[in-house]
Structure 1
Amino acid sequence: MTLIGDGARLVDVVSGRVLGHDDLVVEVARVAEGLAALPEGVLFARSSIDLSSLLHYLGAFEGGRAVALIDPALNTESLGSLVARFRPGAVLTAPEGEPPPGYRAKDGHWVRAEAEGVRPHPDLALLLTTSGSTGAPHFARLSRRAMLANAHAIAEVLGIGPDDAAPTNLPPHYSYGLSVLNSHLARGATIVIEPSGISGRTFWDAVSRCGCTSLAGVPYHYEVLRRRGFDPADYPRLRRLTQAGGKLRPELVTEFDAKMRAAGGGLYVMYGQTEAAPRMATMPAELLAHKPASVGPAVPGGEFTVRHNDGTETTHPKITGEIIYRGPNVMMGYAEDAAGLALGDELGGVLPTGDLGYLDEDGFLFVTGRLKRIGTVFGNRISLDDLEQAARATGLGIDIVAAVPAGDKVVLFAEDVGPDVCKDASRALADRLHLHASGFDVRPVDEVPLLASGKIDYQALMERI
């Protein structure tokens, strides 16, 4: 089955080029033919928000060539380390400078000198890094079946059709951004390629001019939209906002839900992980006001259970434990090096998410935290996600905050506040949790660092401690 549904098209705002369905199919086939001539093995594609990057991805997918989408901001040393571990047939759109040992520069790429390499498993279509903000990168191995299953499941629950259009404010190497691309193209919709992001005037001009009907964002994007005074009524065709990539503050859920309903549209709160290609749950917009803290039921074809400490699983309501997901969109497993690329499906459609949560009596999921996002304050284990939420709830004007563990205390970086507010926040958190204020080191920061996906770069913050 193809990823390019009947009527799908790409609109490149920068060049003004429009690829209608037939032209898109021809162009993707041309790119696929060029990729097929490269040495065997996985391909690395440094993927920006531009037409060339999307064509490389689509050419690889449609041509049956396994591809890893790489953040172009990854430094040369880290990229070289990945190349050494996985020995790709080529690095597409390679950075300037000398290629690593065993590779030669050709047509803007690094091409491996040896023709033979590790042949990926025939089901393997895509590799995406999953370390996110907290560790060294490794790859989730996603099959063609998993990606197509999730694209169509998301298109079904959101009602995506040929008259829809979505902008590329999330990068394609980020699973949520790629999911927007896949779910729209699979149903014959339009992708508007505009790289400046939601803070750029040209982005919003493109949203208006191209008649975009949906916009995706992580929590940070919604904080920015709130500051900008975003009003969906200014964009009459924009009828759908989607949110994933972390928990959105309850007051923002309420605010954007009300704004979208007033404009005749809806806010869809979603839950996913790269390992699930990536989306697992969607909260129906019409029910959001009744269950604002929920991420909704599983997507079509999926199922949630909750695992207890003793290893048993249940769907009984209100019992908290690790969230387990089952569905056709679950990855095949992880790859740590080239040998891992040849492996088959190791998970059988079952994904322990590492998230904590519970189901209600209607089967709607409530995510309450991460198993591994834990800090220790004087020997007391504290959810760092809950601590960030508590800092926002102090009433001190802290909107954007990131918490990281630091030995027997927690450091919280608060954006756009002064030292006095930070001191007050430390005391407020201490009072709330009945611990000494020295356990909560709240520090002012001009900007909380972000990954290209818009998620907080916790690793960069830990390096500041």
Structure 2
Amino acid sequence: MVVAAGSGLLGDGARLVDVAGGHTLAGDELATTVRAEAETLGALPPGVLFARTSVDLRSVVRYLGAFEAGRAIALIDPALDADVLAELVRRFRPAAVLAAPEGEAPAGYTLGDGDWLRTSAEGVTPHPDLAVLLPTSGSTGNPKLVRLARTAVLTNAGAIAEVLGIDGDEVAPTSLPLHYSYGLSVLNSHLIRGATVVVEPSGVLGRGFWDAVEAHKCTSLAGVPYHYEMLRRLKFSPEKYPSLRTLTQAGGKLRDDLVTEFNDKIRAVGGRMFVMYGQTEAAPRMATVPAEHLTAKLGSAGPPLPGGEFTVRRDDGEETTHPKITGEIVYRGPNVMMGYAENEAELAHGDDLGGTLATGDLGYLDEDGFLFITGRLKRIGKVFGNRVSLDDLEQAVRSSGVGIDVVAAVAAGDKVVLFAEKVGKDVCKAASRALSERLHLHTSGFDVRPIDTVPLLASGKIDYRTLEAEV
């Protein structure tokens, strides 16, 4: 069943296994620890809490404590560029920046126990429904914050748990960053059903991760397309890990041949694979392909989660559920965000969207109500599951100092291709490295290619469609 609003995130029997510390929090100890954290955070001045969130027990307890205390908390990538963090702090004036970076606190803040604490007691009190905020983009541009209500987080966690069959016997490792909506949803959907989460920071490509999977008998693995590409190269076999019986994939479209390959592998050992679709703005899951339909519906994003609904908005603005009509995908459900916030004052706003999200994705529904995604309306790409602004990437290349003045970026599956005008291959490689360092993502996610002349439309704007055809 879907969990009702007003419940907490900790279901009966929930456990946190801290691999680094060699300790497990469960039962009364877990509840007491979270309650103590809630009291500490509840005593801070009014305002949103910023938390630089790593994959560690401290970050998880802090998040759960804020949720318990009813304090709106923004989960921030600890690798976020210092200037981007500084701008966010200026715009939102958080009551505190928890696990702050080393160095002096900015103006208006003091340093205490590793946190930046706002010196002024005056601050905007966030809307009482607001629980979690996540930035819309990584280390580029001027990110907005997605405002997620407590109800949205809880209902989505319950709906995911329902379709994946999560119960108290499940053991999920932290294969994804917790400040990333997919990683956070794995945490939420397991804890809410009283399952176990194994907190291990090295990730899917780390030896320590697989040691933890084996030692703690993890039952599931969550990955974005890049992870599955790498696991294929590493010749991953679920037979090596007998407890592992569920694979989930989200964060971008995985190639159909890889879906088939990994589905075949996990089914061969009696397991299941689920392909999912979502956005941070939907807290974050909207659809899941049931494991038993994955082969028959290859390429689909699945039907909506319980409580959700898809329609397709045609060019004339009308919405339809008629099969095979392509248009912008519109989602309705209790997990839709309250809206965006670009400054402190907007944290106090209520629900601006009324449960309706225009996704910016193009697609259609089939006769069984399964969603198929065909493209995007907006200039947003994904690099290994991380949403990035293509316009911001272009600006980042131009300002990187490598000698590129004219550049055009287009999405290409789980990477971005950037066409750089009148430069050599060495300059392109330097640009790829610059983007990798700025966004803290592998260079293979940025394919910078030389081009004689970037094509233009009659208006003088870049002809992106022509470039997309070259990818």
1:99 to 101, 105, 124: 105
- Looking at structure 2, the residues matched to 323 and 162 of structure 1 have their Cα atoms a distance apart, in angstroms, of 34
1:69 to 70, 75, 81: 75
Other-structure match for 1:435: none
Where structure 2 has 5 or more consecutive residues not aligned to the other structure, the ranges are 1-6, 381-389, 391-407, 455-471
- Looking at structure 1, the residues matched to 234 and 17 of structure 2 have their Cα atoms a distance apart, in angstroms, of 26
What's the CA shift for 1:285?
1.0
Deviations 1:106-132 (A, max 9, x none): 111000001120000000001101124
1:372 to 369, 375, 378: 378
1:141 to 118, 136, 147: 147
- Looking at structure 1, the residues matched to 321 and 45 of structure 2 have their Cα atoms a distance apart, in angstroms, of 48
Other-structure match for 2:275: 269
Other-structure match for 2:346: 340
- Looking at structure 2, the residues matched to 259 and 11 of structure 1 have their Cα atoms a distance apart, in angstroms, of 28
What's the CA shift for 1:447?
11
- Are 2:243 and 1:229 equivalent residues in the alignment? no
Other-structure match for 1:189: 195
Other-structure match for 1:125: 131
Other-structure match for 2:174: 168
- Looking at structure 2, the residues matched to 52 and 78 of structure 1 have their Cα atoms a distance apart, in angstroms, of 24
- 1:361 match: secondary structure: coil
1:12 to 13, 18, 26: 18
1:320 to 322, 326, 349: 326
- Are 2:117 and 1:115 equivalent residues in the alignment? no
- Are 2:166 and 1:152 equivalent residues in the alignment? no
Are the equivalent residues in 2 in contact too, given 1:220–1:454 (CA < 8 A)? no
CA separation of 1:232/1:452 partners in 2, compared to 1, >3 Å: closer, same or farther?
farther
Deviations 1:273-332 (A, max 9, x none): 000000000001111111110011000000000001111000011111100000000000
- Looking at structure 1, the residues matched to 72 and 448 of structure 2 have their Cα atoms a distance apart, in angstroms, of 33
CA separation of 1:273/1:369 partners in 2, compared to 1, >3 Å: closer, same or farther?
same
2:305 to 285, 299, 312: 299
Are the equivalent residues in 1 in contact too, given 2:409–2:418 (CA < 8 A)? no
Are the equivalent residues in 2 in contact too, given 1:402–1:448 (CA < 8 A)? no
- Looking at structure 2, the residues matched to 218 and 373 of structure 1 have their Cα atoms a distance apart, in angstroms, of 20
Are the equivalent residues in 1 in contact too, given 2:415–2:445 (CA < 8 A)? no
What's the CA shift for 1:75?
2.1
Where structure 1 has 5 or more consecutive residues not aligned to the other structure, the ranges are 376-381, 390-399, 412-418, 420-440
Q: Between the two proteins, what is the percent identity of the paired residues?
A: 64
- Looking at structure 1, the residues matched to 433 and 355 of structure 2 have their Cα atoms a distance apart, in angstroms, of 43
Count of aligned pairs: 415
- 2:134 match: secondary structure: strand
Other-structure match for 2:52: 46
Report the AA paired with residue 31 of structure 1.
E
CA separation of 1:91/1:447 partners in 2, compared to 1, >3 Å: closer, same or farther?
closer
Deviations 1:46-71 (A, max 9, x none): 00000111111000001101100000
Within a 5 Å distance, the mapping from 1:360-439 to structure 2 comes to: 360-373=366-379, 384-385=410-411, 388=412, 402-404=416-418
- Are 2:246 and 1:240 equivalent residues in the alignment? yes
- Looking at structure 1, the residues matched to 211 and 36 of structure 2 have their Cα atoms a distance apart, in angstroms, of 31
Report the AA paired with residue 16 of structure 2.
L
- Looking at structure 1, the residues matched to 289 and 444 of structure 2 have their Cα atoms a distance apart, in angstroms, of 23
- Looking at structure 1, the residues matched to 282 and 212 of structure 2 have their Cα atoms a distance apart, in angstroms, of 31
Other-structure match for 2:207: 201
Q: Which moved more, 1:134-143 or 1:145-154?
A: 134-143
- 1:182 match: secondary structure: helix
- Looking at structure 2, the residues matched to 405 and 315 of structure 1 have their Cα atoms a distance apart, in angstroms, of 38
- Looking at structure 1, the residues matched to 240 and 280 of structure 2 have their Cα atoms a distance apart, in angstroms, of 33
- Looking at structure 2, the residues matched to 87 and 112 of structure 1 have their Cα atoms a distance apart, in angstroms, of 8
Task: Output the TM-score relative to the length of structure 2.
Answer: 0.83
What's the CA shift for 1:36?
1.1
CA separation of 1:452/1:329 partners in 2, compared to 1, >3 Å: closer, same or farther?
farther
When the two chains are superposed, the root-mean-square deviation of aligned CA atoms in Å is 2.8
2:84 to 59, 67, 78: 78
CA separation of 1:54/1:271 partners in 2, compared to 1, >3 Å: closer, same or farther?
same
- Looking at structure 1, the residues matched to 112 and 149 of structure 2 have their Cα atoms a distance apart, in angstroms, of 29
Deviations 1:155-191 (A, max 9, x none): 0000000000111121111000000000000000000
Are the equivalent residues in 2 in contact too, given 1:3–1:182 (CA < 8 A)? yes
Task: Output the TM-score relative to the length of structure 1.
Answer: 0.84
